[in-house]
Amino acid sequence: MSSAARTYGAGATGSVAGLAPALQHYKAGANKLSDIKFDGFDATNGVMIDRKVSVTTFNKSYRQATNQSLVLEQNGYTGRWEVPTESEAARVWKALGSLLIADIRVRVVPQ
């Protein structure tokens, strides 16, 4: 992770240096719990926040979105990906739409 990405993520609502908010996700095939981390938590709205300086179309980003969506559903939360520009927001909306993910919203938060 770049220093710009680390700094941007640290600015998320509810972010605590060195402590990433996480939810436990049950993996049926592995028969175990694993932690899915986020950058922050908006306690006012009960929203888990993940910040992205840029969004890729690589499988890693799709897996992360899918895993976050599953853990949000299992724990009764919603999520929000925060990005610095409208063009990045459009990329996120397109990716989430292609994955049929409806429990993660997108917000533009300039750097």
**pLDDT digits over 43-88, tens only?**
888 899 999 988 887 888 899 999 999 999 999 999 999 999 999 9
Average pLDDT estimate for 2-30:
75
d(CA 106, CA 46) in angstroms, rounded, equals 15
Pair of tokens at residue 25: 């996700």
The answer to whether the CB of 72 falls within 8 A of the CB of 103 is yes
d(CA 110, CA 62) in angstroms, rounded, equals 23
Pair of tokens at residue 63: 């897996």
pLDDT at 7 over 80: no
- Rounded to the nearest integer, the mean pLDDT of the chain is 86
Lowest average pLDDT, out of 42-46, 57-61, 88-92, 98-102, goes to 57-61
Alpha carbons within 13 A on the beta-carbon side of 89: 12
Tally of domains in the chain? 1
Please name the residue that has the structure tokens 């917000």. 107
15 or 102: which leads in pLDDT: 102
Range of the domain at 52: 3-108
Lowest average pLDDT, out of 30-34, 55-59, 97-101, goes to 30-34
